[in-house]
Amino acid sequence: MQHEELIDLYLEKILEANEKTNLTRISSLDEARKLHIEDSLAGLEELNKAPEGLYGDLGSGGGFPGVPLALESGRKTVLVDSVQKKMAIVGSVLSELGIAEQVSTYGGRIEDLAHERPCAFTALTARALSKLSVLMELASPLLVNGGLLICYKANVQEEEWEHALSLQEKLGMRLYSDRTLTLSDGETSRRIITFEKTGRPKLKLPRHVGFAQKKPL
Ligand SMILES: C[S@@+](CC[C@H](N)C(=O)[O-])C[C@H]1O[C@@H](n2cnc3c(N)ncnc32)[C@H](O)[C@@H]1O
């Protein structure tokens, strides 16, 4: 099966499962193709620039952008979400499609994974999860030096932006690229902000950090 077909099949199965468990607020297939497939793949360019190795999707929910990116890039992938029920459903869809060996799930908090598997990842993505500074703080201990954190953002307030930039050195991260694109509907715009891990974070990682956004996209 081609990647595109597999991604589409994955999406259909997630929408089916969504009728019973809240994985995404989107129920129409067309809308989901735009926001869960096309938008997920917006960060492929950045993912392809990351060093070879393990890729992780932080706060993955129904598996976005992690699953489309995993299938398109061919990378070994871990989807991370603290809601174990979501990860169990996503995991069973991955098994059903025969891709569970390439794409696995971690049903737990990102902070705990960072303690269990420090420096295990060469690339991370995060969509609709938290502010840039929090994402950097979570990602830094998980990344190898040279690894990339790819943040999917709609709009970033000046304060959020300045705060993230001011913490770069302390968090052992530096701004790598910043790109805005428009989806095929000609209306939805997406900003992909990428940070590179440059060294050991100088701030002690808190056991748990606060999250701004908890509702699924
Ligand atoms: C708004 S949803 C976004 C889901 C998906 N990334 C998307 O864009 O469709 C945020 C997800 O992050 C998860 N989450 C929030 N805090 C987390 C943490 N500390 N560790 C792991 N997952 C977390 C929530 O359970 C939720 O599924």
Distance 211 CA to ligand 1 centre (A): 9
Distance 59 CA to ligand 1 centre (A): 3
Task: Report if residue 206 sits inside a domain.
Answer: no
pLDDT, tens only, 152-186: 999 899 999 999 999 999 999 999 999 999 999 99
Task: Report if residue 164 sits inside a domain.
Answer: yes
Task: Report if residue 204 sits inside a domain.
Answer: no
pTM (predicted TM-score): 0.94
Residue nearest to atom 2 of ligand 1 (CA): 216
147 close to 122: Cβ distance less than 8 angstroms = yes
- Classify strands 143-153 and 189-197 as parallel, antiparallel or unpaired: antiparallel
The reported pLDDT for the residue numbered 216 is 52
Lining residues, ligand 1, CB within 6 Å: 59-62, 64, 80-83, 86, 109-111, 127-129, 211, 213-217
156 close to 132: Cβ distance less than 8 angstroms = yes
Cα first-last separation, the chain: 28
The reported pLDDT for the residue numbered 41 is 98
Task: Report if residue 16 sits inside a domain.
Answer: yes
Q: What is the CATH number of the domain that holds 152?
A: 3.40.50.150
pLDDT, tens only, 46-58: 999 999 999 999 9
Total structural domains within the chain: 1
Task: Report if residue 138 sits inside a domain.
Answer: yes
Distance 129 CA to ligand 1 centre (A): 5
Q: Burial of 78 by CB count in 10 Å (0-12 exposed, 13-18 middle, 19+ buried)? A: buried
Task: Report if residue 107 sits inside a domain.
Answer: yes
Task: Report if residue 51 sits inside a domain.
Answer: yes
Range of the domain at 61: 3-197
The reported pLDDT for the residue numbered 213 is 47
Task: Report if residue 212 sits inside a domain.
Answer: no
Q: For residues 74 and 23, what is the distance between their CA atoms, to the nearest angstrom?
A: 24
Mean pLDDT over each residue of the chain, to the nearest integer: 93
